[in-house]
């Protein structure tokens, strides 16, 4: 999640999507225009209009590209250490020192989510996106149940609980000042996993 997906665009379409990604990260949705994308691309805005009808069509295409990329990444390989995988994921989301550029883009994603309140196309995208990530967490949980690392539980319900907590955390971090509350939320989430998910209550929570 920390790499630049658009580090090496393969064609004009990917160059446009890369410019859109970087413009969103730098300016947010409100400050995004075809002109700012053209400046990142170092091409005429007319080239962008040749491929995409308007700003929202371009943003949605960029989101779809990112979703396809992460879907491929999440779908590769088996889950060999489900507990370590789950803890690594949560520790990343709750890290106090997230990379500034990635944090800016996550904030922009939340800004785009607000468009889904009134725009069916954005709502459809984020519905699919949430389903994908929930399914990936469910797969980790099921792998842990199968190999005895996790106790019997409803992996889908646990995955939805974790994802909803993470989304709420991201929203609060992006829209309020200070994060003194963050460690407490992380601790309580770890308590939930220790008592509800991990195979024994004696398992220590990795700091």
What span, in angstroms and rounded, lies between the C-alpha atoms of 98 and 161? 23
All domains of the chain, ordered by start, with CATH? 7-76 (1.10.10.60), 79-207 (1.10.357.10)
pLDDT at 205: 43
pLDDT tens column, 87-145: 888 887 887 666 666 677 778 888 899 899 999 999 999 999 999 989 999 999 999 99
Tens of pLDDT along 161-182? 999 999 998 888 888 888 889 8
- Percent over 90 (pLDDT), the chain: 39
Give the burial class of 143: count Cβ atoms within 10 A of its Cβ; 0-12 exposed, 13-18 middle, 19 or more buried.
buried
pLDDT bracket for residue 203 (50, 70, 90): very low
Residues 6+ apart with CB under 8 A from 191: 205
């Amino acid at each position: 999640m920390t790499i630049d997906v658009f580090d090496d665009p393969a064609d004009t379409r990917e160059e446009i999507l890369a410019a859109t990604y970087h413009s969103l990260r730098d300016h947010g949705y409100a400050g995004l225009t075809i002109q700012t994308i053209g400046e990142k691309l170092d091409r005429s805005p007319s080239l962008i209009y040749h491929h995409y009808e308007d700003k929202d069509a371009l943003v949605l295409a960029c989101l779809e590209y990112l979703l396809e990329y992460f879907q491929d990444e999440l779908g590769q390989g088996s889950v060999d250490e489900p507990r370590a995988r789950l803890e690594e994921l949560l520790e990343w989301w709750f890290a106090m020192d997230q990379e500034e550029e990635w944090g800016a883009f996550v904030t922009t994603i939340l800004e785009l989510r607000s468009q889904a309140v009134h725009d069916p196309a954005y709502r459809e995208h984020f519905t699919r996106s949430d389903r994908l990530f929930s399914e990936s967490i469910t797969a980790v949980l099921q792998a842990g149940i199968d190999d005895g690392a996790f106790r019997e539980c409803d992996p889908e319900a646990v995955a939805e609980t974790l994802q909803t907590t993470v989304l709420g955390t991201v929203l609060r971090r992006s829209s309020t000042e200070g994060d003194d509350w963050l460690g407490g939320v992380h601790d309580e989430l770890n308590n939930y996993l220790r008592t509800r998910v991990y195979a024994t209550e004696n398992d220590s929570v990795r700091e």
